[in-house]
Homo-oligomer: A and B are copies of this chain.
């Protein structure tokens, strides 16, 4: 009997000729409820197609069972893949997730967090990409909401956790790989300088260059905003310098797209004129001709781990085993870089 108006717990109580409190107890499997009453209530609830009102339930319980997820841009395929994995894990645990995107705008993420907090979310997963993340970080510290920083700098706080990818180790491998193939002029295009993964990758790039005793050429290092157009422009600027770099590392999938466009524009043949290493192993890297060397990571695992950590953080208020988890990455060498530079 599907009602047009939703049935409340009072209707069920009336229909089963018991009190509202008994209905609540019966449906929530509380102890001290007689079998007879329970079956009567369950039947009545079924007949009226009773669904507890979420708002009233949450208000009383003080718990929304929903998670706020803040991203820089969900249109980024890496982020959306991670999101899907995390959301699935959260959904199977009874949480719904409200997703908000700061659209990579520097000062918006703090407002987005405030919005999510005002929605009284039970937990937060933060993967925004602000250039200057300080206000957001402060807010997270003060809000006292269980939070997982996803591939971002950890934040001090009782209930704040972090899941990261080990960008550095694969980046060092990538540089060593290029050096071993005879490259000494290795360009680097990153995302914004304040962006955590870019920082990690850039530092590793510098360390590996130093380790190989290759003097860094500052003019071969550029940082782009999160748009293909900007990445394209920065790549063109980078290519103005002489001697030309013989290898290029692009730190991010948007950057890769812009850089590929620029290389095509300059008529530089990837895998022959210039070696290319990307930092996200998206479809493009595998389908491009020649296939592009890339740093791969298990995005599914990343999302699932973030969800698990957050759920733990929500449950065990204090028991913090791992505050920050670092997941492995691996360098997948393909034709774009797998050739010896002619001397």
Contact = CB atoms under 8 A, between A and B. Distances in A.
A88 B103 contact: yes
Given A84-B101, A97-B98, A64 B55 contact: yes
Contact of A81 (B51, B58, B75, B115): B75
A289 interface: yes
A56 interface: yes
A96 interface: yes
Interface in A14-68: 51, 53-56, 58-59, 64, 66
B53 A55 contact: no
A85 to B, nearest CB: 9
A280 to B, nearest CB: 13
Contacts of A83: 74-75
A181 interface: no
Given A53-B120, A77-B75, A289-B289, A99 B98 contact: yes
A314 interface: no
B100 A98 contact: no
A132 interface: no
Contacts of A66: 98, 119
Nearest to A291: B264
B88 A84 contact: no
Interface in A70-127: 73-77, 80-81, 83-84, 87-88, 91, 96-101, 103, 115-116, 118-120
Contacts of A284: 283-284, 287
Contact of A120 (B55, B77, B103, B115): B55
A267 interface: no
A2 B103 contact: no
Most-contacted residue by chain B among A64, A84, A116, A144 (CB, 10 A): A84
Interface of A: 2, 4, 51, 53-56, 58-59, 64, 66, 73-77, 80-81, 83-84, 87-88, 91, 96-101, 103, 115-116, 118-120, 142, 144, 228, 257, 260-261, 264, 283-284, 287-289
13 contacts: A2-B142, A53-B59, A55-B59, A59-B59, A75-B77, A76-B80, A77-B77, A96-B119, A97-B99, A257-B287, A260-B287, A261-B287, A284-B287
Given A51-B118, A91-B100, 14 more contacts: A53-B120, A54-B118, A54-B120, A55-B58, A73-B84, A74-B80, A74-B87, A75-B77, A75-B80, A96-B100, A257-B287, A287-B288, A288-B288, A289-B289
